[in-house]
Structure 1
Amino acid sequence: MRALENANSLLMFLLELGVLAAVGYWGLTLATSLWLRILVAVGGIAVFVTVWALFGAAADATYPAEGIWRAALEIGWFGGGATALALAGRTTLAVIFAVLFIINAALRLYWK
């Protein structure tokens, strides 16, 4: 059972990285000049990293979110990643990403 919990933790970490990749990818797909696309991609990633560092980082969050606030943070964070993929035209990938997050969250609640 412990191996499955570890695999689920790895999945969450990969999903966290996926959010950052999705936001950056979305920024680069905008129909505007290259410098503005790069600025939006980097800026979007910076905003997401800052929010996660302040409220969501497992052991090092400055103001760790708990309970319903943690749930809202995760829905916003991972939902933002899925939304970024959808806005970039990767709808199937966005759905897969959202489903993986839901499975991951359900398993974490089950094992808690």
Structure 2
Amino acid sequence: MHVLAKNANALLMFLLELGVLASVAYWGFTLGSNWGVKLLAGIAGPALFIAAWALFGAGGGANAAFPLTGLARAALEIIWFGGGALALYAAGLRTQAFVFLALFIVNAVLRLLWNEV
């Protein structure tokens, strides 16, 4: 049962990672009325998030070019997942932003309790 819960939490983290990218893209495509701005923000926003995650956080740091640990890793995750929640909030999806943030907090607390950070 414990292994199943850990695997479910790992799946949740992966889905949250994808959710960040979707959230930032959605936010970008809701900016203003100019399609050039929408297209730039909707594509460049997630691209910047992908670059940051690939450099510092991919695979729990194992696949990252410059893996972060400890407080630096915690700060990265707070900025990364908080950015996803903030993008939803800025796009007007306030309830979804709070649910996203709550899911991240539950995921992070469980990973801390299970020493998976």
Question: By how many angstroms is 1:68 displaced?
Answer: 0.1
Q: Structure 1 length normalisation: TM-score?
A: 0.98
State the AA in 1 paired with 2:103: L
| Structure 2 unmatched runs, 5+ | none
> In the alignment, does 2:94 pair up with 1:95?
no
Q: Which residue number in structure 1 is paired with residue 19 of structure 2?
A: 18
Q: Which residue number in structure 2 is paired with residue 73 of structure 1?
A: 76
Aligned residue among 84, 96, 102 for 2:87: 84
Aligned residues, how many? Answer: 112
Percent of residue pairs bearing the same amino acid type: 56
RMSD of equivalent CA atoms:
0.6
Structure of higher RCO (CA pairs closer than 8 Å, 6+ residues apart): 1
State the AA in 2 paired with 1:106: V
CA deviation profile, 1:69-96 (whole Å, cap 9, x unmatched): 0000000000000000000000000000
> In the alignment, does 2:92 pair up with 1:109?
no
Q: Structure 2 length normalisation: TM-score?
A: 0.94
Question: By how many angstroms is 1:36 displaced?
Answer: 1.6
Question: By how many angstroms is 1:34 displaced?
Answer: 1.2
CA deviation profile, 1:6-46 (whole Å, cap 9, x unmatched): 00000000000000000000000111311220111100011
